[in-house]
A and B are shown apart, each in its own frame.
Chain A
Amino acid sequence: MRMLRAVFAHPSGRIGGVIVALYLLLAVLGLLGLTPHNPLMQYRIDRLHAPDSTYWMGTDLFGRDVASRLMMGIGQSFTVAFFSVAFAALAGTVLGLAAAWFGRRWDGVLMRLMDVLLAFPAILLALLIVAVAGPGTRTSIVAIAIVYTPIFTRVVRGPALSLKAREFVDAARTFGSSSSYILTRHLLLNLVAPLTVQITLALAWALLTEAGLSFLGLGTQPPAASLGLMLSDSRNLMETAPWLMIFPGVAIMISILGFNLLGDALRDIFDPRMRRAIA
């Protein structure tokens, strides 16, 4: 509750919070099927219908209502983006901290493993995962999580190394704090800033990666919709039916703006130095 109030007291937090809340609402409505039209219903006489009062955002190649599909797509895209980023951030933080904290051989082995993963062309990785698990939502989540884990690892390890070298960790050590205390209290707290930024960046990337996977037919399977699939399906219709590209495109942009603003606000709130600065 105090958290919420803090977010809403922050200028960008207010805008970001409202946007993200709105999207969450649309996502839930979309996932529950509470849309203006049935997103899967093909109104055959109204194929490629321009936006009007019946179809607020027009219809697609099949005569399906774009507005309804957009809501369904937001639900689908958010599911994929949230889960994949959550997995990647969790795994990446644990691995990055482990690498920085234990140093030496651990660091070498872990970071080289991450190099192996990073060095893999993402398509090959995606193809392989899809070949083993079959295309679909779960596969997309796993594939995106694996692609982004090394990035989180590196992002956490860099500042962790630099923080570890700073005096206050040394100071805490000499005062006899246990290492787990140091980890949670200082390191993690100081990692909140880079992590929240990275997470908001990664959410944006995840939305776009899902688009890339859908582009290659490896992501969301038709007739379900995701923002990325809608965008990649619109590419050859860009000239005939521009609304097919505009609406999902704008939807992705605004959602990413929301994430970014909220992320900035959270960083300000969490960051102990900022709090000191304010106090």
Chain B
Amino acid sequence: MTYLLRRLAVFPLVLIGVSIVVFVAIRMVPGDAITAMLGTEAGLLTPAQREALAAYFGIDQPWFVQYGRWLAGLLHGNLGISSTYGKPVLDVILERFPLTLELALLSMIIALVVGVPAGVFAATHNEKFSDLGVRVAAMIGQSTPNFVLALLIIYTLSAGFGVLPAMGEFSPLWQDPLRNLGQLILPAITLGFAFAASVTRVSRSAMLDVLSDDYVRTARSKGVSARGVIWRHALPNALIPVVTLSGIEFGYLLGGAVIVEQIYALPGLGRLVLDAILQRDYALVQGCVLFIAFNFMIVNLLVDLTYVALDPRIRLGEQ
């Protein structure tokens, strides 16, 4: 309990660290909101026009003044106004987040449902033909860039079968669950494909490790059935690296899947961040990164807590 509180207490510190790094970093990249809006036409502006626009975008002050302003706003629960959306940053993010969360969950479900059984199966059939089959399948999954997979899926469906999920307008889950699922299932498969492959490999390898451990062999010699050994004794231990991997992947997916969102035209967090960066919408970049970092830390915390649940020998933070 104290451990949990202590971990939570660090959150604000990390978030401030993240915010300073983003604040400085994004301003170091050449180009600003003015060139993003006007492109090369920005060269036609007089210095006075430039100043007026800089004031409009709030980038007329040195970065630390801007940061101070932003931080003051944050203390009042205000992440700033997005210059492209003309709306509070938090509102924009929260509109996009449900999709990202849903997509990440769907992909993880696909990955775990396919990957863990496949990994266990391969491990228990070590170096047999079926093991090789699983490994080759995992290899294909792991080595296909998701943009290739997405393009192949879209091309095959549209040119070959004349069907395609509705592109363009996205329906949230609570409005039209069926249409929503139709729109998300292909992106989830695209993302889940490589994810499942990684899970397969890691769970196979961890399972092999655990099966050769002393206590499993002890259990076996005590007459526990092979199936019981695998599912009750070996699997929980083998799951530790799977949890690490899934946690990291899931954390990444919560940050949005840029390329997949681009190709399937999904309004998720990944595209939001990319567009914000390309349009130099500083407040939005800032808000998104902070939001993603916060989620990431929550996921990490959950992963660490899962370790404790799976391996009681680890007593976190108390040595």
Contact = CB atoms under 8 A, between A and B. Distances in A.
A contacts B directly in the complex (CB < 8 Å)?
A: yes
A118 B241 CA distance: 18
B302 interface: no
Contacts of A255: 143
A158 interface: yes
Contacts of A159: 240-241
Nearest to B127: A11
Contacts, number: 162
Contacts of B292: 119, 121
A185 interface: no
A252 B241 CA distance: 25
A131 B29 contact: yes
Given A103-B319, A201-B198, A264-B205, A119 B241 contact: no
A121 B255 CA distance: 7
Given A112-B13, A193-B209, A212-B259, A127 B29 contact: yes
B206 to A, nearest CB: 8
Contact of B28 (A104, A131, A197, A264): A131
A162 B313 contact: yes
25 contacts: A116-B21, A118-B248, A118-B296, A128-B28, A154-B248, A158-B241, A161-B314, A162-B307, A162-B313, A165-B311, A194-B206, A194-B241, A201-B198, A208-B143, A208-B145, A228-B145, A231-B148, A232-B147, A235-B147, A235-B148, A238-B152, A253-B140, A253-B143, A271-B212, A273-B209
Nearest to B316: A161
Contacts of B205: 193-194, 197, 264, 267
Contacts of A151: 248
B277 A124 contact: yes
A26 to B, nearest CB: 17
Contacts of B273: 121, 123-124
Contacts of A128: 25-26, 28-29
A198 B256 CA distance: 23
A238 B89 CA distance: 38
Interface in A127-145: 127-128, 131-132
A250 B27 CA distance: 40
A213 to B, nearest CB: 11
Given A197-B205, A204-B143, A255-B143, 15 more contacts: A112-B10, A112-B17, A121-B256, A121-B292, A124-B289, A155-B245, A161-B314, A193-B205, A193-B209, A201-B201, A211-B147, A228-B145, A253-B140, A253-B143, A260-B135
A238 B156 CA distance: 12
A215 B198 CA distance: 23
B313 A124 contact: no
Contacts of A197: 201-202, 205
A249 interface: yes
A58 to B, nearest CB: 18
Nearest to B29: A131
B258 interface: yes
Contacts of A119: 18, 251, 255, 289, 292-293, 296-297
6 nearest interchain CB pairs? A119-B293, A256-B143, A165-B313, A253-B143, A119-B296, A131-B29
A120 interface: yes
A79 interface: no
Interface string A154-185: 11001101100110000000000000000000
A111 B301 CA distance: 11
Nearest to A119: B293
A271 B22 CA distance: 42
B288 A121 contact: yes
Contacts of B30: 131
B136 A257 contact: yes
B37 to A, nearest CB: 19
A115 B293 contact: yes
Interface in B6-27: 6, 10, 13-14, 17-18, 21-22, 25-26
A132 B28 contact: yes
Contacts of A12: 127
A128 B31 CA distance: 12
A231 B143 contact: no
Contacts of A277: 212
B17 A116 contact: yes
Nearest to B25: A128
Contacts of B92: none
Contacts of A261: 135
